[in-house]
Amino acid sequence: MKIHQLLVFLSIVLSIHFLVNLYIYFRGLHAFPENNAYRTWYTILFIFFFLSYIIARFLERMYPSFLSELFTWIGSIWLGAMAYLFLLFLLADIILVINKLLPFIPRIGFSGTAQFRMYVAYVVPAITACLLIIGYINAKSPRLHEMDIIIPKHSSNLKSIKMIVVTDVHLGTLIGRRNAERMVNMINNQQPDIVVFGGDLIDEDVQSVIRNNIGEKLLRIRAKYGVFGVSGNHEYIGGISKSLPYLESHGIKMLHDTAIAIANSFYLIGRDDRDKFRFTGLPRKALAEIIGLTDKSMPLILFDHQPIKLNDAISNNIDFQISGHTHHGQMFPFNLITNAIYDISRGYKKIGNTQFYVSNGYGTWGPPIRIGNRPEVLVFRLRFE
């Protein structure tokens, strides 16, 4: 990414971050009467939370340590709190606007607008805290999602295969050794024939993964035909030159715009992430070029991290495409946005002769919170008929 593009992007993000926090700060201030001594402590605590994620990102680059990890946890949880504090306070303000046109607040037990704002300043943080606790527990409770996929093509040696797919793990500070161990146990307990990681296995900076030796857990994965992976946008954000060698040195064969035959029965096709050009200036190969020398009579199974331009898979007669990236919004109501952006935000869909599956993912990005969807490990029983 070019420097000026990065500066513009950071300026927009930091401006939004500042304005949202400013709005939340003034709405929360209604909880304290004028000249109340707790207003000062509220302000100090709020500034700490506001700066925590920014400090975390700075420390990660300059002084990675326990302190940087602590600020990452605090800042990431605050991002989740920000989202729901903003939405709930905004809802309360909309109610107040409606009340000006059709007065109803005094009728439901409040003496007026000021008292309503004070109650809101207490109730909204309480609701937000409950949502964060529920969302955190949910994010740490992955499920196995099993599905039979019939591919109407003949396979020379195999009539079926059990494929485990995991996308969007985001290994790093928040998704650490314990989460990785749980994932590996879930995979091995299924006794898979093949395992594929569908991108964003590492969450940006690989240094946290190296420092905590998380890759050690990946070496325990067992699969008859091997463990494979494709790049996601976060591998490029964190530096593809560091993340891919690390993954390959820990038992994962990365597919770079290539197709390989598995047991002379089907092709496993892995595309570099579409953000490759944005971060490296190098284009990824066209799908037609990747599958140019394959035997089209054999099943073609494609892994493309971002579920964009699905017609590309359809026009190239791909039998089954698996993607991730969306997290299905991760926190309600952001799934409404991913539903609007992507043809498939999560789950299974067949378009023409091509079958698609978009995973919720295993980990989290930003807040370690999931509301409205479950993290998942996919178990596909592929049948070739």
What pLDDT sits at residue 110? Answer: 55
Q: Given a cut of 60, is residue 92 above it in pLDDT?
A: yes
Q: Of 119-128, 148-157, 255-264, which gets the smallest average pLDDT?
A: 148-157
Q: Given a cut of 70, is residue 1 above it in pLDDT?
A: no
Confidence tier at 2 by pLDDT (50, 70, 90): low
What pLDDT sits at residue 13? Answer: 83
- pLDDT tens sequence across 256-293: 999 999 999 999 999 999 999 988 989 999 999 999 99
What pLDDT sits at residue 63? Answer: 82
Q: Which of 166, 174, 202 lies closest to 362, judged by CA?
A: 166
Contact assessment for residue 163 and residue 149, using Cβ atoms and an 8 Å cutoff: no
- pLDDT tens sequence across 164-180: 999 999 999 999 999 99
- pLDDT tens sequence across 302-342: 999 999 999 999 999 999 999 999 999 999 999 999 999 99
Taking the mean position of all CA atoms in its chain, how far away is CA 65? 24
What pLDDT sits at residue 59? Answer: 87
pLDDT-above-90 percentage for the chain: 76
Residue predicted with more confidence, 50 or 111:
50
Residue 370, SS3 per DSSP:
coil
Distance of alpha carbon 316 from alpha carbon 118, whole angstroms = 60
- pLDDT tens sequence across 94-108: 988 887 777 766 655
Q: To 10 degrees, the CA torsion angle through 150, 379, 308, 300?
A: -40
Q: For 144-384, which CATH superfamily applies?
A: Metallo-dependent phosphatases (3.60.21.10)
Q: Given a cut of 60, is residue 206 above it in pLDDT?
A: yes
Residue 292, SS3 per DSSP:
coil
Q: Tokens representing 223?
A: 């699969």
Residue 358 phi, psi (nearest 5): -115, 125
What pLDDT sits at residue 232? Answer: 96
List of residues 6+ apart from 39 with CB closer than 8 A: 29, 32
Question: What residues form DSSP beta bridges with 160?
Answer: 383
pTM: 0.91
Residue 171, SS3 per DSSP:
strand
Q: Given a cut of 90, is residue 73 above it in pLDDT?
A: yes
Residue 221, SS3 per DSSP:
coil
What pLDDT sits at residue 116? Answer: 79
Contact assessment for residue 173 and residue 73, using Cβ atoms and an 8 Å cutoff: yes
What pLDDT sits at residue 37? Answer: 82
Helices 113-139, 3-28: axis angle to 10 degrees equals: 130
Confidence tier at 35 by pLDDT (50, 70, 90): confident
Q: Given a cut of 90, is residue 12 above it in pLDDT?
A: no
Residue 10 phi, psi (nearest 5): -65, -40
What pLDDT sits at residue 344? Answer: 97
Residue 216 phi, psi (nearest 5): -55, -35
Residue 30 DSSP label:
G
Strands 143-151 and 347-351: what pairing?
A: unpaired
What pLDDT sits at residue 205? Answer: 80
Question: What residues form DSSP beta bridges with 149?
Answer: 382
Distance of alpha carbon 210 from alpha carbon 205, whole angstroms = 10
What pLDDT sits at residue 118? Answer: 85
Q: Boundaries of CATH 3.60.21.10 in the chain? A: 144-384
Letter string b/e over residues 258-281, b meaning 16 or more CB atoms within 10 A of that residue's CB: bbeebeebbbbbbbbbbbbeebee
Q: To 10 degrees, the CA torsion angle through 320, 324, 327, 328?
A: -30
Q: Given a cut of 70, is residue 111 above it in pLDDT?
A: no
Rounded to an integer, the average pLDDT of 29-33 is: 86
